[in-house]
Chains A and B, each alone.
Chain A
Amino acid sequence: MSTSLRNNGPALLSLTAAALLVAGLSLAIFWAPEDADQGISQKIFYVHVPVALTSYAAFFWAAWKALRLLWKGDERHDLESYTAVHMGVIFGVLTLVTGSIWAKVSWGQWWVWSERQLTLFLILFLFYSAYFMLRYSTDPGPRRSRTSAVYALFGVALIPVSFMAIRLAEGLIHPVVFKRDGPDMEGSMFLTFCVCLAAMLALAGALYLIELSGKRADASLRELRERLA
């Protein structure tokens, strides 16, 4: 990667995310048709599902970086894995909040404990929230990097379970949109969803790069302070 692209990466990705967010939300509000059953509230789908998928993507990225750390032993992957978990948890909070708002308008309740999809996502979210407790309960160094990496790798096993729960369970009220034979929605709805998903992924990517450069600057300053002390 060239130096100029590395330096301007967060800015370029932020601009792309902003453009895609404006496009996605405009398409969702003004172009995508209203759902016959749920009406206008179904348009929460264009925010809720991309945010949830972005959260999964961030956890996958964290696990990939954790695997690289354990495999290659390169310590820089520790900060990358940590930052990805950080992003995943932020998008996880947004998934739970937007999901609860949608549940309230559709089902009349903020949360339904009998729904396995919801409960499994909550377990996944709490599992990754506990990552920070584990990380900050040990002193910085290779031991902390390795235990954090193993934890991030274990968590990723919960994602397919959470994703498949909706398909395996019976008698659900949580809708299934993506089926084996393709998305169960109109072409305009699917296009809007794709733009919103690209926007959320670009937003998460931009936030990840900004957060990572902030954490790297913080670590460099700490090292400099120790050397000058």
Chain B
Amino acid sequence: MSTGEKYLWAAYLVVFAAVLLYVVLITLKVGRLERELASLAELARDREARSG
């Protein structure tokens, strides 16, 4: 592989890695939102049970 080819692949890989990193971060964020939503739903259910 020539020097030019190495740099070309490096540039393409940087963009691919950034997109991949973004997908990982957004997956972690969705997981956190799901957990928060579950805890709030539980809190709402507890309140309903106490008041009812």
Query: Which residues of A line the B interface, CB within 8 A?
Result: 25, 38-41, 43-44, 47-48, 51, 90, 93-94, 97-98, 101-102, 104-105, 203, 207, 210-211, 214, 217-218, 221, 224-225, 228
Contacts and interface: CB of A to CB of B under 8 A. Distances in A.
Interface of A is mostly: helix
A203 B19 contact: yes
Q: How large is the interface on B (under 10, 10 to 19, 20 to 34, 35 or more residues)?
A: 20 to 34
B11 A221 contact: no
Interface of B is mostly: helix
A98 B4 contact: no
B44 interface: yes
Contacts of A211: 26
Given A39-B2, A218-B33, 6 more contacts: A25-B12, A41-B7, A90-B18, A93-B18, A104-B7, A214-B33
A40 B43 contact: no
Contact of B15 (A51, A207, A224): A51
Nearest to B37: A221
Contacts of B24: none
Contacts, number: 65
A40 B19 contact: no
A224 B38 CA distance: 12
A224 B40 contact: yes
Given A40-B5, A98-B15, A203-B19, A210 B26 contact: yes
List the 10 closest A-B pairs by CB distance, nearest first. Answer: A41-B4, A105-B7, A40-B4, A44-B11, A101-B11, A98-B11, A39-B4, A97-B14, A221-B36, A228-B43
Contact of B18 (A38, A94, A217): A94
Given A41-B7, A214-B33, A218-B33, A101 B14 contact: yes
Interface in B8-52: 8, 10-12, 14-15, 18-19, 22, 26, 29-30, 33, 36-37, 40, 43-44, 47
